[in-house]
Amino acid sequence: MIVTIDGPAGAGKSSVARKLAQALGYTYLDTGAMYRAVALMALRHKIALSDAETLAQLARTLPIRFGPLSPDGVQRVWIGEGDSAEEVTEAIRTPEVSQATSIISTHSPVRRALVERQRQMALAAENGVVLEGRDTGTVVVPQAELKIFLTASPQERARRRAAELRAQGLEVSEETILKEQEERDARDSRRTDSPLRPAPDAILLNTDGLDLDAVVRQILSLHQERCNQRRCGVSEA
């Protein structure tokens, strides 16, 4: 089965999608990590973040490899080929890369290139797949059998983001995060190509005040319902 988890930053998508993929024994596809990998290479090679065509070429060709999810929910990411591949798991999560990613992901040619790769990866997954992103249920695999759109209040999302940064040793006020978050939300929902919005058939889940296990339990029970209605496990193209 194909499951999509979309929603804004800080709604809890990553933790939920990873835990869900583990519980189901499904492949996990972190679409944001692919945009981040392209942004990291663009920064390193000093490609202008406005140069949509060069960035799209990079998005089409950059080798990106994902490792399996570890029991504690970490997925390692590499760019490059074979022995010369470089692990970029942490390098793609810096604030500088996050900022650049938010810009390059507004370019339609970049989105087209990555969406095509994501679609192929999702359909190649043998057991089942959980995709996490912004447009996975609307654009990447609109045929997904279970689509979840996670939300949370702006304050809750900023609190979670501050805690995440604190865990990385960075102290940023929730007020600053809230302001940046507003700007990013506006950019994400106003962009003409794949604006952030739930698919018409997505199930909206507000995660305010819910712990991770409670959210995952709810989605597992929706998954079970879908399984009872139709074929479960093997993805249907």
The reply to whether 207 sits near ligand DC by the rule CB under 6 A is no
* x-marked contacts with ligand DC along 85-104 as a string, rule CB under 6 A: ----------------xx--
C-beta of 163 vs 234, nearer to ligand DC: 163
In this structure, what are the phi and psi dihedrals at residue 29, rounded to the nearest 5 degrees? Answer: -120, 110
Whole-number minimum distance, CB 52 to ligand DC, in Å?
Answer: 14
In this structure, what are the phi and psi dihedrals at residue 204, rounded to the nearest 5 degrees? Answer: -90, 130
Select from 72, 83, 120 the least CA-distant residue to 235.
Answer: 120
The reply to whether 35 sits near ligand DC by the rule CB under 6 A is yes
C-beta of 102 vs 235, nearer to ligand DC: 102
The reply to whether 8 sits near ligand DC by the rule CB under 6 A is no
Site for ligand DC in 118-137 (CB under 6 A): 133-136
* Structure tokens, 162: 């501050």
The reply to whether 31 sits near ligand DC by the rule CB under 6 A is yes
Based on the number of CB atoms within 10 Å of its own CB, is 140 exposed (0-12), middle (13-18) or buried (19 or more)? buried
The residue range among 29-37, 58-66, 158-166, 200-208 that interacts with ligand DC, by the rule CB under 6 A, is 29-37
* Structure tokens, 84: 């010369």
The reply to whether 4 sits near ligand DC by the rule CB under 6 A is no
Residues that bind ligand DC (CB under 6 A): 9, 31-32, 35-36, 101-102, 105, 133-136
